[in-house]
Amino acid sequence: MSSSQDSVLSEYESDSSQTSKLLRKFKETPFVPIGMAGFTLVVGYGLYRLKHRGQMKMSLHLIHTRVAAQGFAVGALTCGVLYSMFREHVLKPKE
């Protein structure tokens, strides 16, 4: 292995606590945890509303809940990709 690979591996292995890895990922890609949290909230709200769905069939209610949750997650990831493209191409200084 080259010395650059050794330094990267040793840095990764030294920073091995789960909390520090999670915080590093949140700093690198902030919209992923936002998407995950939104997905969880939409699913939780859908399950809460399951009792009060009225005459709607359960399968239809679950399909609507799934579509809403997936839409939130995809929207958050799309915002994250657009943000990273903006950061790399617009805010990056010209070389």
How many residues appear in the chain? Answer: 95
What pLDDT sits at residue 95? 62
Question: Could you tell me if 14 and 7 are in contact, meaning their C-beta atoms sit under 8 angstroms apart?
Answer: no
Q: Is 86 left (phi over 0), alpha (psi -120 to 50) or beta?
A: alpha
17, 43, 77, 33 alpha-carbon torsion, rounded to 10°: -20
pLDDT at residue 67, rounded to an integer: 92
1-49 per-position pLDDT tens digit: 455 555 555 555 555 688 887 788 778 778 878 888 888 898 888 888 8
CB environment 84-94: b (16+ within 10 A), e (fewer): eeeeeeeeeee
Say what the pLDDT of residue 91 is.
Answer: 80
Report how far residue 43's alpha carbon sits from residue 25's, in angstroms, rounded to the nearest whole number: 24
pLDDT digits (tens, 9 = 90+) for 56-80: 888 898 899 899 989 988 998 899 8
